[in-house]
């Protein structure tokens, strides 16, 4: 569904003078004007700012200089990444109208690479959700079928790429919030190794799990963007002290001789649609035909991933969201004293799902329950990490389903939080381990809706992961 050419092609054309960045931006703004009222991918379209940024790129080209690897490429930002002087809301009333005094590191890096920020995308409030229906500003719709969800929490970013509003977008992935919407919208989505991309300026949900990553129409374009945003950042204490991963150089090296494991617990479990399971097997067949050695493998503790995640993530959220108190920034509801003002502000500012997770997390951290819930969940997390490390002694990469289903109808799961949480069953293990994982489109399921196949790799294994993803993408092109 994407239009306007791939990101790398656009950048090459802009650098060579074959196209102007201004023309590229106008083309994408036209696409936004045509479908955005139907899709609602954006909380804010930055039309004037994008035009000015494009003109600046064109001036650099006119001087004979290189604007960077993303020269003139429109890029959408999830609205939980700080943009200096530009409203950043996390799709929450509690931050409505707040203008950060600084840019997130990833925002600085994409601009330095020549990208043009075209808008801030909608998300589940504070990134808590799997459907982008929890936004205070209304749901985003799937461009393939507007009666369906785009996935979440980065549904706006996934929809923006799928609809052709921008060739590239950034999202954040705490439990699958890049990969799951990428699968449901039929685009590529990447969660890098924890610490490969700076979290400075990403408004926190669960700090030990959150990671920023790219959306793109192709594996190659995702590689270009990850190379641009990766690398050490002294502003982030969890940032890994090494350069950005080199991905493009080996992207087409093939998969001959690589050992690929199909994860039983993330492909054969109850609730996975048959067409999704078949897509994983077909992708495995494509890798085998390309020379990889494929076998099934068990990661037993992965079955506990959802239970551990929904204790750890809400616990961290309850701590991180304590800062929204009506005093320092954002919404304030006046009351007779500070305690009542704080309570009234949080009652009015947070939506139902955020309140639910704050309560879950506060309970899990409370005296008398900490060891039984949060402490135990952290021990399970360690077990999951060790199981994956053991499996990676035998396999170079793993593959699995990304989402157990194709995009479901708007409203289908909003009344059943547990059913919504189970959307993340295949994605949360990689967040708990901190390892990289990505979703690649592979075929279609019910109603012709996209299916995503997930590729997982050991820590800092992005280069091999991208090679395998490229091979799956090529196999998908041969699949009817």
Q: Which residues are annotated as catalytic? A: 78, 153, 177
Q: 207, 219 in Cβ contact below 8 A? A: no
What are the tokens at 144?
């393939």
Phi and psi torsions of 152, nearest 5°: -165, 175
Q: CB 99: neighbour CB atoms within 10 A?
A: 13
CB–CB of 135/165 below 8 Å? no
Q: How many CB atoms lie within 10 A of CB 93?
A: 18
The vertex-259 CA angle with 256 and 261, nearest 5°, equals 135
CA–CA separation, 282 and 69 (whole Å): 34
- Measure Cα distances from 153 to 28, 36, 134, 138, 401 in Å: 23, 18, 9, 13, 18
The Cα-based distances of 391 to 295, 303, 460, 469 in angstroms read 12, 15, 16, 19
Alpha helices of 207-351 — where are they, by DSSP H? 219-229, 274-289, 305-320, 338-349
Tokens of 284: 């495995």
CB 407 within 8 A of CB 145: yes
């Amino acid at each position: 569904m994407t239009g306007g050419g791939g990101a790398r092609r656009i950048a090459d054309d802009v650098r060579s003078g074959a196209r102007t960045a201004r023309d590229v931006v106008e083309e994408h703004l036209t696409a936004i004007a045509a479908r955005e009222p139907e899709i609602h991918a954006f909380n804010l379209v930055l039309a004037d700012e994008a035009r000015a940024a494009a003109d600046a790129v064109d001036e650099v080209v006119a001087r004979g200089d290189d604007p960077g690897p993303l020269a003139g490429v429109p890029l959408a930002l999830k609205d939980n990444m700080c943009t200096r002087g530009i409203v950043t809301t996390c799709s929450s009333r509690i931050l409505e109208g707040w203008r950060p005094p600084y840019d997130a590191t990833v925002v600085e890096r994409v601009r330095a690479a020549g990208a043009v920020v075209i808008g801030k995308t909608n998300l589940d409030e504070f990134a808590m959700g799997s459907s982008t229906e929890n936004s205070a500003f209304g749901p985003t719709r799937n461009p393939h079928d507007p009666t369906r969800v785009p996935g979440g929490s980065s549904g706006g970013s996934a929809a923006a790429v799928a609809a052709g509003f921008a060739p590239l977008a950034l999202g954040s992935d705490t439990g699958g919030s890049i990969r799951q919407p990428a699968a449901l919208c039929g685009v590529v989505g990447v969660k890098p190794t924890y610490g490969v991309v700076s979290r400075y300026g990403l408004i926190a949900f669960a700090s030990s799990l959150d990671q920023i990553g790219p959306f793109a129409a192709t594996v190659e374009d995702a590689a270009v963007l990850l190379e641009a945003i990766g690398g050490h950042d002294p502003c982030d204490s969890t940032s890994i002290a090494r350069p950005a991963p080199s991905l493009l150089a080996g992207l087409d090296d093939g998969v001959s001789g690589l050992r690929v494991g199909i994860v039983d617990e993330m492909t054969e479990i109850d609730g996975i649609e048959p067409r999704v399971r078949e897509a994983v097997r077909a992708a495995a067949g494509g890798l085998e035909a390309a020379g990889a050695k494929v076998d099934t493998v068990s990661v037993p503790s992965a079955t506990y991933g959802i239970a551990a995640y929904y204790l750890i993530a809400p616990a961290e959220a309850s701590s991180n969201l304590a800062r929204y108190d009506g005093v320092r920034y954002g919404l304030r509801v006046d009351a007779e004293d500070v305690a009542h003002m704080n309570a009234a502000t949080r009652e009015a500012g947070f939506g139902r799902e955020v309140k639910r997770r704050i309560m879950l997390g506060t309970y899990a951290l409370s005296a008398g329950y900490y060891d039984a819930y949060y402490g135990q969940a952290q021990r399970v997390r360690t077990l999951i990490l060790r199981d994956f490390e053991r499996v990676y002694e035998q396999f170079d990469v793993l593959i699995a389903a990304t989402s157990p289903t194709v995009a479901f109808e708007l409203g289908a799961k909003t009344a059943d939080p547990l059913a919504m949480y189970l959307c993340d069953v295949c994605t949360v293990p990689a967040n708990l381990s901190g390892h990289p994982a990505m979703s690649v489109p592979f075929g279609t399921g019910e109603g012709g809706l996209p299916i995503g196949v997930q590729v997982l790799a050991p820590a800092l294994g992005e280069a091999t992961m991208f090679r395998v993803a490229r091979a799956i993408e090529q196999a998908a092109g041969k699949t009817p």
